[in-house]
Structure 1
Amino acid sequence: METKHEIVICLGSSCFSRGNKDVLEVVKVFLKEHKLSAEVFFHGDLCGGKCEEGPVLKIDDQFFSQVTVDNVYEILTSYFEVEQEK
């Protein structure tokens, strides 16, 4: 099955030290919970040059900056238009 979307999480030292290691886990759980793993290619990448805006997450062609474990679920819910669990 070909993926329809791509999520790239910055794992450069700046984003990683500011919390993207925890964001990574939240994204994995989100994809599994919403059965999106087969249609989303999720992977890490090294520095994309947006360190001052980090932690950074890219979904398809859209960049999200200052991503945290507190806001990433909302970002994903909005982007993929799924209902947020209560």
Structure 2
Amino acid sequence: MSNETNITICLGSSCFSRGNRHTLELIKGYLKEHGLENKVFFHGDLCDGLCEHGPVLKINDKIYKHVNSENIYEILNEFFLEKGDEY
């Protein structure tokens, strides 16, 4: 896997208060557990104007809406398995 994977979590007040503060920690744990910390650029960003669809997460150019602790692992597994990455 190249270092071109970019995960951006919305840390705007709406997304943050609606769950991204918890999702942030889940993603960090997932990346660590799968040895992806040095292979993924994971960072926060402020509002992209998608508040009505939040919490929002972007992986490369794909936007995921209504992200929560119940679907974040499915989203991450789907992305990394689609890429054919072994971890």
Tell me if TM exceeds 0.5: yes
The answer for the alignment partner of 2:5 in structure 1 is: 5
The answer for the alignment partner of 1:32 in structure 2 is: 32
Partner secondary structure for residue 28 of structure 2: helix
Alpha-carbon deviation of 1:3? 2.0
**Count of residue pairs the alignment pairs up:** 82
TM normalised by structure 2 equals 0.89
Query: In structure 1, how many angstroms separate the alpha carbons of the residues matched to 2:36 and 2:61?
Result: 18
Query: In structure 2, how many angstroms separate the alpha carbons of the residues matched to 1:35 and 1:66?
Result: 26
Q: Structure 1 residue runs of 4+, over 4 Å off?
A: none
Q: Deviations over 1:32-85 (max 9, x none)?
A: 1111111100000000110000000000000000000110011001100179xx
2:26 aligned with 1:21, yes or no? no
Q: Which moved more, 1:73-82 or 1:19-28?
A: 73-82
The answer for the alignment partner of 1:65 in structure 2 is: 65
Query: In structure 2, how many angstroms separate the alpha carbons of the residues matched to 1:26 and 1:41?
Result: 15
Query: In structure 2, how many angstroms separate the alpha carbons of the residues matched to 1:74 and 1:32?
Result: 16
| Superposed CA RMSD | 1.5
TM normalised by structure 1 equals 0.90
Partner secondary structure for residue 20 of structure 1: helix
Partner secondary structure for residue 68 of structure 1: coil
